[in-house]
A and B are shown apart, each in its own frame.
Chain A
Amino acid sequence: MSSRDKILNSINKHLVPSVPLPDMNQDWIQFDNPTEQFLTMLSAVGGRGEVVPDLATVSAKLHEEPFYNKAAQICSLVPGIEISGDKTIDLNAIDDPHQLAGIDFAIVPGEFAVAENGAIWVTDASVKHKALYFIAQHVVIVLKASELVHNMHEAYPRTGLGSDEFRQSPHFGVFISGPSKTADIEQSLVIGAHGARSLLVFLIED
């Protein structure tokens, strides 16, 4: 007998009383000002964020960032963010994600944000190397201020996971809440474990 059959038989031989699935329509948390809540949570998890009127402001704000100005390699997936030619990396021209090891700054679009925990959903649906999100020294996420949900129960339908469209082209997706961090040495919080050393979020007003 294969291990598959052995395991399934071993499960099926037990007559276990069935428990029904619970109702997921409950009073899940809502916020009076979800944008403010999102920004508060983002800062609590070690990120920074602000609401800006347009992409031009994002470009201007980036030039106020010391690490941005010092960056040797920048990769932007957000159309409209201007980067000087000698610094810019074209993700689609790169075959092997290992070549991203020197990326200092990644500027990427987010699909939507979650007020309750400061998380932002990003995917590799139209991104050649998902490694970019994790290997860059600093990450900037840009998204529309209106793309904000209150809680994770509103978030999951927005991910599209399990929809017919998703089944046609399944892809990777991740909720990112703040920069990479660890507290594995004596519970001391250190920002910048393996992934981004900083996370900056711009919410663009419509």
Chain B
Amino acid sequence: MGGHAQLANQFVANGERAKWHDQALWFVRQKRDNISHAIPEWETLRETASQVKLHTVTHLAQYLEEFEKNAQAMGVHVHWASNAAEHNEIVLRILQQHEVKRVVKSKSMLTEECHLNPHLEAAGIEVVDTDLGERIVQLRKEPPSHIVLPAIHIKKEEVGDVFHEHLGTDAGASDPGYLTEAARQHLRENFLAADAGITGVNFGIASTGGFVVCTNEGNADLGTALPNLHIACMGIEKLIPAPEYLSLFTRLLARSATGQPITTYTSHFHGPKPGGEMHIVLVDNGRSDILGSDEFRRSLSCIRCGACMNTCPVYRRSGGHSYQATVPGPIGSILGPAHNAAAHSTLPYACSLCGSCTDVCPVKIDLHHQLLTWRKEIRVRGLLPFTKTFPMKVMAQVFQRPGLYAFGGKVARIALRLMPRWMIYNPLNGWGRQRDLPTAPRESFRDLYKKRKK
């Protein structure tokens, strides 16, 4: 099978690095465990938050209209975009109307999903990603490999190299404190020179028309407190009904994401700053289609904490880039195929169905069940490769014929004991690539059962 498995193969080729990546993420998972276990009502929080999200998504049109009305009452310009292209057009138009040359952007997976940066750059606008991790991957000209920790796959020596090239830091420097200080100075210049700030939205509040942006670095705040123009890009599923429900999500988000009690800056924007201008772009881009699906609707509850990635044994060992999707990991393996099943048909198979993602999800998305459902869906849509469909057809024939099945079993038990290693572990035996097959028993279950009955 191509796709994820092939790219994952490349990632694990460097065993030491793959182990380092695995452990870095497991460390974050452990921090999440420690802090969530300190909250006695953790499960109540998850359940309550999950219900709020499901409620909102099942009343979405009503809340979107309420949000729009309340935002407009505060002087906010609200735009609607059906798809990525329209979103990019709207943002570019606003920037061009204000003759913006330089824009600072804080982390927004939505703008990654829409590929906003290349669109703006093609029109001659300089876009600077201001989250440190995003800036690192932007300078390396690659996409983030994790939605919360965009540069988790990069070693500090490599950060040193890219900073040496672009920011003029000392050659060979790799101290995170030194490199972060250099980025601080470099990005300060950009904050001060920017004509506009773009942010994502963590939570939109229907009853007030405001929205919340969470960062640890303060980049969304610096990027919007200085220039007069603020554009916030928001997926339509980010809404919650009223401010009181933020209590659930601000408690869950950072604890689940990085094991912090709350993000350093949890900023509540209500209307433009005095003398400024604020735009909100509401983006569908396939979300309303997911809403119609009973199987996959819950995936719209995602608050993008990344906990499912940090715990996923496949993600940790294959790296975010192996998914080739804006959002990698378990949730990305659901959202990716929903957006384009043919392009992401291998992702639901990048999963051992262990269910750890479902256990840690702060809004109780049934991730591994949805991944299994996607496998069925991939088959139904005829997107499975021949290497999977052909053996399945053969096995279906065998399972329908008990005699053939018993005979096949007998042959296999003998053959596995007698055949030399090179014959068993032939190139066609995918299962034997990383592991030894179990020793074949002398008797089948049927033989044992017959004996027992006697």
Residues of A at the B interface (CB closer than 8 Å) are 2-4, 6-8, 10-14, 16-24, 26-29, 41, 44-45, 97-98, 101, 114, 116-119, 124, 128-131, 133-135, 151-153, 155-157, 159, 161-162, 166-167, 170-188, 190, 192-196
Contacts and interface: CB of A to CB of B under 8 A. Distances in A.
A14 B60 CA distance: 11
Nearest to B31: A187
Contact of B291 (A14, A171, A178): A14
A157 to B, nearest CB: 7
A8 B65 contact: yes
Interface of B: 24, 27-28, 39-41, 44, 47-48, 51-52, 54-55, 57-61, 64-65, 73-74, 80-82, 86, 130-133, 136, 149-152, 155-156, 159, 176-177, 179-181, 183-184, 187-188, 191-192, 205, 207-208, 210, 216-219, 221-222, 225-226, 236, 241-248, 250-251, 258, 260-271, 273-274, 282, 284, 288-289, 291-292, 297
B59 A18 contact: yes
Contacts of B208: 161-162, 166-167, 170
A195 B222 contact: yes
Given A4-B80, A7-B236, A16-B58, A177 B226 contact: no
Contact of B247 (A20, A151, A192): A151
Given A7-B284, A174-B265, A186 B243 contact: no
Contacts of A171: 270-271
Contact of B218 (A101, A172, A196): A196
25 contacts: A6-B284, A8-B61, A10-B284, A10-B289, A11-B64, A12-B61, A14-B291, A14-B292, A18-B55, A44-B261, A97-B226, A101-B188, A131-B226, A133-B225, A156-B243, A170-B270, A170-B271, A177-B261, A177-B266, A184-B151, A185-B156, A186-B155, A188-B177, A190-B177, A193-B183
Contacts of B218: 134, 180, 193-196
Nearest to A114: B262
B292 A181 contact: no
Given A27-B41, A162-B243, 19 more contacts: A8-B64, A11-B61, A151-B247, A152-B251, A161-B210, A170-B270, A171-B270, A174-B265, A175-B262, A180-B264, A182-B133, A183-B258, A184-B132, A184-B180, A185-B136, A185-B151, A186-B155, A186-B156, A187-B152
- Give the most central of A16, A45, A97, A101: most B CB within 10 Å: A16
A131 to B, nearest CB: 4
A78 to B, nearest CB: 20
A18 B56 CA distance: 9
A145 B374 CA distance: 53
A175 B61 contact: no
Given A4-B80, A182-B216, A22 B58 contact: no
A18 B188 CA distance: 47
Given A3-B80, A180-B217, A24 B245 contact: yes
A184 to B, nearest CB: 4
A10 B237 CA distance: 14
A171 B266 CA distance: 14
Nearest to A186: B156
Contacts of B81: 3
Contacts of B41: 26-29
B366 to A, nearest CB: 15
A196 B187 CA distance: 14
Given A3-B82, A22-B52, A159 B242 contact: no
A130 B197 CA distance: 15
B58 A18 contact: yes
Contacts of A175: 250, 262, 265-266
Contact of B48 (A19, A26, A156, A167): A26
Contacts of A182: 132-133, 180, 216-217
B394 to A, nearest CB: 40
Contact of B226 (A98, A153, A187): A98
Name the 7 nearest CB pairs between A and B, nearest first: A195-B218, A184-B133, A117-B261, A193-B217, A14-B292, A131-B225, A188-B176
B55 A19 contact: yes
A91 to B, nearest CB: 13
A4 B81 CA distance: 7
A177 B247 contact: no
A7 B283 CA distance: 9
A111 B264 CA distance: 17
A48 to B, nearest CB: 15
A75 to B, nearest CB: 14
Given A185-B180, A188-B156, A172 B52 contact: no
Given A172-B273, A174-B266, A174-B267, A17 B58 contact: yes
A49 B315 CA distance: 39
Contacts of A119: 261-262, 266
Contact of B261 (A8, A13, A41): A41
- Give the most central of B27, B41, B205: most A CB within 10 Å: B41
B191 A194 contact: yes
A156 B246 contact: yes
Contact of B288 (A2, A11, A130, A196): A11
Contact of A16 (B181, B273, B297): B297
A202 B261 CA distance: 20
B136 A161 contact: no
Contacts of A26: 41, 44, 48
Contacts of B133: 182, 184
Given A10-B288, A11-B60, A187-B27, A124 B246 contact: no
B207 A179 contact: no
A167 B40 CA distance: 35
Nearest to B282: A7
B184 A192 contact: yes
